[in-house]
Structure 1
Amino acid sequence: MVSLVPHTPDAVPDFARWPSFPFDGDLRVKQLDDPVDVEPPRKGEGTAECSSCSAPDDAYIWVSERWRVRAMDRPTGLPMVLILESRSHFDLGDLPNLLAAELGVMTVRLERAVRSLDGVARVHVNRWGDGSAHLHLWFLARPYGQLQLRGTFLSLWDSILPPITESRWRENLALVAAWLAEFGGRQLAEPPRIEWRTPSNLLEQASHPFDADREFGVELDADGRAAGDGPAAVLPIESIEPAADLDELVASPDSADPEDAVPGSSRADAVPAGVDASASEPEHTGAAVTSSEDDQPGGELDDEASDCAEQAVGTEAAGTGMSRRSAQPETVPAASGSARGGPTAGAATGSAASRGPSDQGRK
């Protein structure tokens, strides 16, 4: 009598030796169960409740009038895992022509959006449909450079790899949603919030004086100077106290250099001993003596020539009786604004009242 022996493969299939196969070691194939006569209903099939139809739009990252995209409830091992669903309850073979045409456009658009993320090399698009009767397509992003994740077992690696950070995951969701929103629909995924943190010691630093030893490792003595025989410590500007009185930095007048005296000051205008100070100042008869920036450079020479002429005339007058008036030179025009007592430009009438003392002596 011959008994039936269940068939057991002698060895595992060849794909177990592929580099992309996520397991290693001694493996054996499971025993295959007998087929069933009636398959159990899927989610959303028949009288079963459809979770996709009852889900609100807030559970998705992007929605439109006929399509919605959702993500996992937490980060996984791959950079991005998304599911494209139709808003209406259809399976793939039940789609009307309009949705069937849009499905191709949405598949390409979502694949491009996921592939645009940093660190993504390829996007695997899968459709199984054994768990839910509502149409849903999977989009799995394969990390760039991870050649071992290529091929059939990418979905298995997603559960094996350590999950990515939540901040990166949320940022990727927001980028994909924004990409889709450029073609219509509504973006629901927002980028992660930036956590602005104030330094914990900010108020403490403001309430305490500057400490050079704590800030720069410089020890200061009682006078606030760098201790030690080494080179002087370079302290920040904030740590240097201002002078108590600015006058301390100004030298006393007695110690000033005579060469530094400013013309017009009391020392620069000092009159030598034995000289009458009143004789060196011009007399004023009523007309203001003004100085002008337009003074001619020859004014001083004319005055010196006049003084010499007056001395010569006085000498000749004593010997020959010649009149002073006949010997004096031509007078300086009244319009010149000399700074040595000459009339101003406004006093051009030539009257005696508007001229200086030297003009009266030349009449």
Structure 2
Amino acid sequence: MPDTPPSVPDFTQWPSFPFEGDLRVKQLDEPVPFEPPRRGEADRECTACNAPDEAYIWVGERWRVRAMDRPTGLPMVLILESRSHLDLGDLPNLLAAELGVMTVRLERAVRSLDGVARVHVNRWGDGSAHLHLWFLARPYGRLQLRGTFLSLWDSILPPISEDQWRENLAMVAAWLAEFGGRPLAEPPRIQWQAPSSLSPTSPANAVEEPEEESASVIEAADEIPESDAAADLSDPSADPSEPDPAPQAGPAPDNAPDNAPDNAPDSSPSGAQNSAGESEEADEVEPRKAPDDQQGTTRTPQS
């Protein structure tokens, strides 16, 4: 008589169950006589013992906290590890007491993040012999993510933005550092917008914009702030693609006021007004040269 496949359990109808449709239960494998060693057992290398402190977001004297290598679907997923190569049942009384304190402290730090309703704390230990506890943040308002399937939803949901992820890591590390230890997570870079990007750009610059997207805005601003500022102050109407005529057009207004009083007749009122207007424009263009001209005129009677 063929084996009847087991019926699908009732939790597949729960709102928190992440799958739907026709489901069937896998066949259960036969038990093995000897389980394979976990990481850190027998001749298998321990990943946690060989990891440097730089791979963690916070490190203390006896505990370390690390994150995933990239953003995931949940606001935060962290792992609390002991520095000593011990499993949960091997902890001495001092570390066992500290484990309770660190669990509460890390849960509060993760729950303080914006948009976090609950923090699930899990310990499986089937993959590594080095003690590690998982802290999974459930997003606020996502009632479908409640319960035991939160770890599955973490792989199903689209990952959060990297900036938000790094900001959350930095906040948790800073929270833990208030009680000791050293925070290693840094907040994301602030993407400052260069002043030149706020002004209207010419079609030539519009074509070059896709090439600048590969670098950050702050790096682009560090490369061209002084040249753009000088071009904008010298001639706002000048074409950025032709920077050479702008410096050549600068000396022309300086020479015109110097030659105009010598060639223009003194008896002409209009000529006097024009020369006065030109001198005022010259003073506005180069205010630093006005004191030198005044000193030159005052020194002439003394000689």
Instruction: State the TM bucket, normalised to the shorter chain.
Output: 0.5 to 0.7
Give structure 1 regions of 4+ aligned residues with deviation exceeding 2 angstroms: 199-210, 243-246
Q: Work out which of the residue numbers 153, 163, 166 in structure 2 matches 1:167.
A: 163
Shift of 1:80: 0.1
Partner SS state of residue 141, structure 1: strand
Q: Work out which of the residue numbers 55, 60, 77 in structure 2 matches 1:59.
A: 55
User: 2:197 — aligned with what?
Assistant: 200
User: 2:31 — aligned with what?
Assistant: 35
Q: Work out which of the residue numbers 49, 74, 84 in structure 2 matches 1:88.
A: 84
CA deviation profile, 1:77-129 (whole Å, cap 9, x unmatched): 00000000000000000001100000000000000000000000000000000
Asked if 1:6 corresponds to 2:3, the answer is: yes
User: 1:18 — aligned with what?
Assistant: 14
More helix by share: 2
Shift of 1:200: 3.4
Partner SS state of residue 168, structure 1: helix
CA deviation profile, 1:183-210 (whole Å, cap 9, x unmatched): 0000000111112231336536543339
Distance 1:18 1:41 in 2: 35
Asked if 1:45 corresponds to 2:73, the answer is: no
TM-score by length of 1: 0.56
Distance 2:193 2:153 in 1: 37
CA deviation profile, 1:241-287 (whole Å, cap 9, x unmatched): xx9758xxxxxxxxxxxxxxxxxxxxxxxxxxxxxxxxxxxxxxxxx
Gap runs ≥5 in structure 2: 200-227, 239-272, 278-303
Distance 2:79 2:144 in 1: 24
Q: Work out which of the residue numbers 181, 184, 189 in structure 2 matches 1:188.
A: 184
Q: Work out which of the residue numbers 169, 173, 178 in structure 2 matches 1:177.
A: 173
Partner SS state of residue 142, structure 1: strand
Gap runs ≥5 in structure 1: 211-242, 247-363
Partner SS state of residue 197, structure 2: coil
CA RMSD of aligned residues (A): 2.0
User: 2:107 — aligned with what?
Assistant: 111
* Partner AA of 1:130 in structure 2: D
TM-score by length of 2: 0.67
Distance 1:53 1:135 in 2: 11
Asked if 1:209 corresponds to 2:206, the answer is: no
- Of structures 1 and 2, the one scoring higher in RCO (CA 8 A, sep 6+) is 2
1:243-258 → structure 2 map (5 Å cutoff): none
User: 1:340 — aligned with what?
Assistant: none
User: 1:324 — aligned with what?
Assistant: none
Distance 2:66 2:22 in 1: 38
* Partner AA of 1:49 in structure 2: E
CA deviation profile, 1:187-238 (whole Å, cap 9, x unmatched): 000111112231336536543339xxxxxxxxxxxxxxxxxxxxxxxxxxxx
User: 1:69 — aligned with what?
Assistant: 65
Partner SS state of residue 105, structure 1: helix
Distance 1:201 1:109 in 2: 45
Partner SS state of residue 151, structure 1: coil
Q: How many residues align?
A: 212
Q: Work out which of the residue numbers 100, 110, 117 in structure 2 matches 1:121.
A: 117
Partner SS state of residue 138, structure 2: strand
Distance 2:95 2:112 in 1: 25
Partner SS state of residue 180, structure 1: helix
* Partner AA of 2:50 in structure 1: S
Asked if 1:134 corresponds to 2:125, the answer is: no
Pick closer, same or farther for the CA change 1:124–1:201 going to 2, 3 Å: closer
User: 1:284 — aligned with what?
Assistant: none
Q: Work out which of the residue numbers 145, 148, 155 in structure 1 matches 2:144.
A: 148
* Partner AA of 2:151 in structure 1: S
Shift of 1:8: 1.3
**More displaced, 152-161 or 189-198?**
189-198
Distance 1:71 1:38 in 2: 32
Partner SS state of residue 85, structure 1: strand
* Partner AA of 1:47 in structure 2: D
User: 1:216 — aligned with what?
Assistant: none
* Partner AA of 2:164 in structure 1: R
